[in-house]
């Protein structure tokens, strides 16, 4: 069961409690809501509490979604789990659009502008904004969780695939590759590289096998560049044929498979660069940081019988994962990064010319865009209760983004704050 975070009268974290216990404290007036997301109570009277148990934050970084979990190492209980959706691709698209507009303006009939480059040296450890935002999102939530519970350690999936050991199994000892993790790194990488489909027929949602593109009997190796995925019928049909003979009637498919097989591991290295940046920032928190690979995460999740999700992957990161994870009743929290608005002074048309003015006033009628509000409409055509992120207007007529869609034209008189703007939206 997902627990509720509790703070004492000095805002120091106590042991998370059962939701039923939290409801009782609220109904008896012994506690108040300190923060809505993550839901946290603060006690109104000093209490003598038992020893506060240490918890571990576990992180499974992803390109679009990162899994987060709080685990009690001593009991194996998963206290809290969430999926954090990043906005890196939105940032990339916005920067691309801005760059295109800027260049189109400069290419018109204007005076010559001397190129600038010497004043744009990137500092050491620089990351593109689309990637640095992901690191910042994760660090924000590590800090928030550390403020509402006693976090004593962090586990992070540092690398998705151990590419060096896939290329050379002897790089750190044969025992690693031939132990309980044998094959997990390789299989997981091939599933990602080939899109979990058969390379020969494109079959999806079917069991696939590791296939040697150049058969071992004809000089093929076990290197990752000679491996692909194939369904059982295609694997048996190919047998030990040379791939050129097997696909002699399909030159386009042959060319695509050979090109995909030789695709370097640079994409994986680029993703790992973000994880290293995150790792260095996590170490700055002063907490011990444990790291693990994607292969170990999958192994831990598989032997514990958990389904493939970002948050269960997070709970299974690293060798510190308890033998038995208590996952019953855990309620997933969905967190989406929304940013903090824009500094644009005007909106532009498709040619980059000013189209309309942007108000510099952030607050309207006591609300600002991004606040989570509850609106109880008692009259008019939109009678009902609406909860969601609000988009404000100077007129006082707001739009509310609810789980069921956008509701427009809600008066500020019906709105009440649930959670002040913090750059995220939330759902259960």
Condensed to tens digits (0 to 9), the pLDDT of residues 14-27 reads: 999 999 999 999 99
Q: Which of 323, 318, 327, 325 is nearest to 181 (CA)?
A: 318
Condensed to tens digits (0 to 9), the pLDDT of residues 325-340 reads: 999 889 999 999 999 9
Which comes out higher in pLDDT, residue 117 or 318?
318
Q: Which residues lie closer than 8 Å to 190 by C-beta, 6 or more apart?
A: 210, 224, 227, 228, 229
Across the range 305-310, mean pLDDT stands at 92
Residue 175: per-residue pLDDT: 44
Strands 289-293 and 65-71: unpaired
Residue 315 pLDDT level (bands cut at 50, 70, 90): very high
**Count of H-run helices and E-run strands, the chain:** 12, 21
- Exposed, middle or buried, 387 (CB in 10 Å: 0-12/13-18/19+)? middle
Domain coordinates of the chain in residue numbers? 5-43, 55-87+127-158+272-337, 164-264, 359-419
Condensed to tens digits (0 to 9), the pLDDT of residues 414-425 reads: 999 999 999 999
Residue 348: per-residue pLDDT: 83
Q: Evaluate if residue 245 carries a pLDDT over 60.
A: yes
Is the alpha carbon torsion for 80, 143, 162, 334 positive or negative?
positive
Most confident segment among 39-43, 157-161, 349-353, 354-358: 39-43
Residue 89: per-residue pLDDT: 87
Across the range 273-284, mean pLDDT stands at 89
Whether the bond between 38 and the residue before it is cis, its omega within 30 degrees of 0, is yes
Across the range 192-205, mean pLDDT stands at 87
Q: Evaluate if residue 395 carries a pLDDT over 50.
A: yes
Q: Evaluate if residue 114 carries a pLDDT over 90.
A: no
Residue 2 pLDDT level (bands cut at 50, 70, 90): confident
Residue 181: per-residue pLDDT: 56
| C-alpha–C-alpha distance, residues 110 and 107, integer Å | 7
Helices 294-303, 184-193: axis angle to 10 degrees equals 110
Condensed to tens digits (0 to 9), the pLDDT of residues 219-235 reads: 888 888 888 999 999 99
55-87+127-158+272-337: CATH number = 3.30.420.10
Most confident segment among 100-114, 207-221, 307-321: 307-321
Residue 343: per-residue pLDDT: 82
Residue 267: per-residue pLDDT: 47
Percent of the chain with pLDDT over 90: 52
Residue 176: per-residue pLDDT: 43
Task: Count how many residues are written for the chain.
Answer: 428
Residue 276 pLDDT level (bands cut at 50, 70, 90): confident
Residue 183: per-residue pLDDT: 63
pTM, whole model, 2 decimals?
A: 0.77
Q: Which of 281, 313, 424 is nearest to 62 (CA)?
A: 313
Residue 268: per-residue pLDDT: 60
Residue 177: per-residue pLDDT: 46
Per the rule left: phi > 0, alpha: psi between -120 and 50, beta: everything else, 166 is: alpha
Condensed to tens digits (0 to 9), the pLDDT of residues 367-390 reads: 999 999 999 999 889 999 999 999
Q: In the CATH hierarchy, which fold is given to the domain comprising 164-264?
A: DNA Binding (I), subunit A (1.10.30)
Q: Considering only 38-47, 169-178, 245-254, which range has the smallest mean pLDDT?
A: 169-178
């Amino acid at each position: 069961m997902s627990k509720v975070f509790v703070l004492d009268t000095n805002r120091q974290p106590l042991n998370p409690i059962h939701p039923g216990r939290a409801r009782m404290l609220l109904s008896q007036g012994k506690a108040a809501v300190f923060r809505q997301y993550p839901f946290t109570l603060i006690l109104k009277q000093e209490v003598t509490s038992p020893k506060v148990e240490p918890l571990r934050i576990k992180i499974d970084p992803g390109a679009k979604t990162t899994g987060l979990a709080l685990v009690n190492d001593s009991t194996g209980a998963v206290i809290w789990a969430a999926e954090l959706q990043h906005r890196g691709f939105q940032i990339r698209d916005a920067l691309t659009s801005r760059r295109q507009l800027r260049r189109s303006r400069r290419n018109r009939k204007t005076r010559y502008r001397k190129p600038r480059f010497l004043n744009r040296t990137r500092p050491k450890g620089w990351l593109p904004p689309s990637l640095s935002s992901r690191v910042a999102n994760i660090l924000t939530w590590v800090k928030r969780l550390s403020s509402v519970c006693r976090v004593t350690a962090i586990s992070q999936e540092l690398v998705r695939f151990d590419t060096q050991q896939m290329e050379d199994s002897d790089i750190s000892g044969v025992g690693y590759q031939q132990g309980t993790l044998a094959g997990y790194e390789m299989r997981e990488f091939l599933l990602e590289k080939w899109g979990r489909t058969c390379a020969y027929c494109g079959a999806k949602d079917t069991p696939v096998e590791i296939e040697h593109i150049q058969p071992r009997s004809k000089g093929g190796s076990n290197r990752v560049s000679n491996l692909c995925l194939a369904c059982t019928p295609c694997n048996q049909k190919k047998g030990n044929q040379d791939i050129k003979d097997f696909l002699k009637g399909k030159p386009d498919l042959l060319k695509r498979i050979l090109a995909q097989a030789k695709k370097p591991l640079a994409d994986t290295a680029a993703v790992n660069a973000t994880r290293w940046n995150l790792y260095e920032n996590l170490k700055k928190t002063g907490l011990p940081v444990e790291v693990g690979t994607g292969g170990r995460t999958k192994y831990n999740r598989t032997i514990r019988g958990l389904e493939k999700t970002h948050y269960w992957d997070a709970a299974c990161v690293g060798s510190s994962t308890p033998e038995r994870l208590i996952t019953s009743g855990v309620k997933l929290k969905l967190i989406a990064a929304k940013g903090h608005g824009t500094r644009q002074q005007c909106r532009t048309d498709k040619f980059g010319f000013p189209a309309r003015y942007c108000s510099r006033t952030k607050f309207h009628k006591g609300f600002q865009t991004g606040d989570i509000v509850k609106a109880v409409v008692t009259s008019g055509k939109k009678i009902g209760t609406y909860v969601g992120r609000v988009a404000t207007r100077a007129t006082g007529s707001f739009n509310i983004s609810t789980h069921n869609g956008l509701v427009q034209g809600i008066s500020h008189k019906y709105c009440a704050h649930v959670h002040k703007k913090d750059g995220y939206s939330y759902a259960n």
